[in-house]
């Protein structure tokens, strides 16, 4: 299973890259705004820090022609850029063309299994179902992941599922149990995944017994 960092903050990207467990980064317009930095500059810097990682950069156009123009430009910046495209009819038109051009795509703002089916048929490299926003809306986010995993297995689709809008470590655990390919995780939640009180108390006792503390 791959873990992506869901952030556009370069300090978080550097720190998480240093842990050696991050396979990519996802950004969106809200995360770019939070970084307070220029879009192109921050995407390129993230690509340099994680040069073997998949780095998602989102288009802002709403028509296929505009999306394709943006996508081709982003793809020319660095080889590891993945074009993030919203789940619309225009978005899928663009995904189809980009998949034929060998440009990787991540179809985002996905909230139903039928949306995931259409994106896979269009040739998406990744789809991003938003589990936290579904939970917030009174629906079961992880059930959607289970449905998409099953659907893709039934037909042997190559499209990878990125569990997005992750709100807590259990979302990551459940994603792994269901066989999702990727979870994109905010920095604070990745940090929480390291910890367990029994790990801390165990280290404390070993250090005391060894005379180090
Ligand atoms: O990257 C997209 C997604 O992870 C957004 O999460 O927390 O804004 O629902 P959130």
Find residue 129's DSSP bridge partners: 110
Please give the positions annotated as active site: 84
The alpha carbon of 164 and the centre of ligand 1 are apart by a number of angstroms equal to: 6
Of 63, 65, 61, 98, the residue nearest 83 (C-alpha):
98
The alpha carbon of 86 and the centre of ligand 1 are apart by a number of angstroms equal to: 13
Q: Transcribe 44-73 into DSSP letters.
A: HHHHHHTTTSEEEEE---SSHHHHHHHHHH
The alpha carbon of 178 and the centre of ligand 1 are apart by a number of angstroms equal to: 20
Residue 108 CA: nearest ligand 1 atom is 2
Pick 2-209's CATH classification: 3.20.20.70, 3.40.50.970, 2.60.40.3080, 1.20.120.10. Answer: 3.20.20.70
The number of residues making up the chain comes to 213
pTM over 0.75? The answer is: yes
Q: Which helix (H) or strand (E) holds 96?
A: helix 89-100
pLDDT tens digit at each of 213 positions of the chain? 999 999 999 999 999 999 999 999 999 999 999 999 999 999 999 999 999 999 999 999 999 999 999 999 999 999 999 999 999 999 999 999 999 999 999 999 999 999 999 999 999 999 999 999 999 999 999 999 999 999 999 999 999 999 999 999 999 999 999 999 999 999 999 999 999 999 999 999 999 999 998
Residue 167 CA: nearest ligand 1 atom is 7
């Amino acid at each position: 299973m791959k873990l992506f960092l869901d952030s556009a903050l370069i300090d978080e990207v550097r720190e998480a890259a240093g842990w050696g467990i991050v396979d990519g980064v996802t950004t969106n317009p809200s995360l770019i705004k939070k970084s307070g930095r220029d879009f192109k500059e921050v995407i390129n810097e993230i690509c340099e820090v994680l040069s073997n990682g998949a780095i998602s950069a989102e288009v802002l156009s709403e028509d296929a022609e505009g999306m394709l123009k943006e996508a081709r430009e982003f793809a020319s910046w660095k080889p590891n850029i993945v074009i993030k495209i919203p789940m619309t009819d225009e978005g899928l038109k663009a995904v189809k063309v980009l998949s034929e051009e060998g440009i990787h795509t991540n179809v985002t703002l996905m909230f139903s299994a039928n949306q995931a089916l259409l994106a896979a048929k269009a040739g998406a490299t990744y789809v991003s179902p938003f589990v936290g926003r579904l939970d917030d809306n009174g629906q079961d986010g992880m059930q959607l992941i289970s449905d998409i995993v099953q659907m893709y297995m039934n037909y042997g689709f190559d499209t990878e599922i990125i569990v997005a809008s992750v709100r807590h470590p259990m979302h990551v655990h459940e994603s792994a149990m269901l066989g999702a390919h990727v979870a994109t995780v905010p920095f604070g939640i990745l940090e929480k995944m390291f910890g367990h009180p029994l790990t801390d108390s165990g280290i404390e006792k070993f250090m005391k017994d060894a005379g180090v503390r």
